[in-house]
Amino acid sequence: MPQQDSHARTALVVVAHHRPDSLTAHTARRAAARLEAAGYRVDLLDLHAEGFDPRMNVADQPEWGDRDKRYSDETHAHMRRLLDADLVVAVFPVYWQNVPAILKGWIDRVWNYGFAYGRSKPRLAGKRILWLGLAGATADDPVTEGMRTVLTSLSEGIARYCGLAHSTIGLLSDADGRLLVGDAGADAEREAHYAAFDQRAREYVEKFLADETVTA
């Protein structure tokens, strides 16, 4: 890993896939590498690998009369990582036109009342997020536009509601799931397909970083 300046900004890369050899995990690693090249210190949060429990529980249930409620130690640790990040990149497969349960549960428990919302000055104000969703559908499949609509609603209903300065959807279609990283059986056509896929993912990250330069 390259040497990072102690004053470098931090990017929290959140991965929501159970397989480390998946295209989703591969895309997250490439995004992390690009962020490091841009000068960020990357905090890679692999929800499955870290054993995050997406289920809501009594300790993390909001209490509307107490916005300073002390949530569970696990949730508090994730809140700190989110608070320490200048930007967030969430990388996930699109399941039924939405984010996977583990990512939704992370939002439910961590982006909680009194922390992410419920204050006159949101604690996440000024942060930026890129949602990189991998979809098996092709770009010209009518369902793809529905996915984009749902994810845009997620962006508006969560990120902007919590005061983030910028929220971007990066929908990566044609992620058919047949490629595992290191798959020796990949033929030339498939290799070209996934090289183009990697390029589209990189372009989303590049544009996200460029937008920061423009709006800073």
For 70-80, the pLDDT digits (tens) are: 999 999 999 99
| Contact status, residue 164 vs residue 116, Cβ threshold 8 Å | no
- pLDDT of 183 over the 70 cut: no
Judged against a pLDDT cut of 50, whether residue 188 lies above it is answered with yes
pLDDT range class, residue 138, cuts 50, 70, 90: confident
Considering only 52-61, 71-80, 177-186, which range has the smallest mean pLDDT? 177-186
How far is 146 from 141, CA to CA, in rounded Å? 10
Q: What pLDDT band is residue 116 in, cutting at 50, 70 and 90?
A: very high
Of 2, 38, 63, 1, residue with least CA distance to 213: 38
pLDDT (0 to 100) of residue 177: 56
The answer to whether residues 111 and 117 touch, using CB atoms and an 8 Å cutoff, is: yes
Flag whether pLDDT at 213 surpasses 80.
Answer: no
Question: Are the CB atoms for 139 and 176 separated by under 8 Å?
Answer: no
Asked if residues 53 and 105 have their Cβ atoms less than 8 Å apart, the reply is yes
pLDDT for the residue numbered 4: 45
Averaged pLDDT of the chain: 90
Q: At what angle do helices 73-84 and 101-110 cross, to 10 degrees?
A: 90
Task: Yes or no: say if 20 and 49 are a contact pair by the CB < 8 Å rule.
Answer: yes
- Residue 110 above 70 pLDDT? yes
Half-sphere exposure of residue 9: CA atoms within 13 angstroms, side-chain side: 14
- Residue 3's pLDDT is 45
The residues near 34 (Cβ < 8 Å, ≥ 6 apart) are: 202, 205, 206, 209
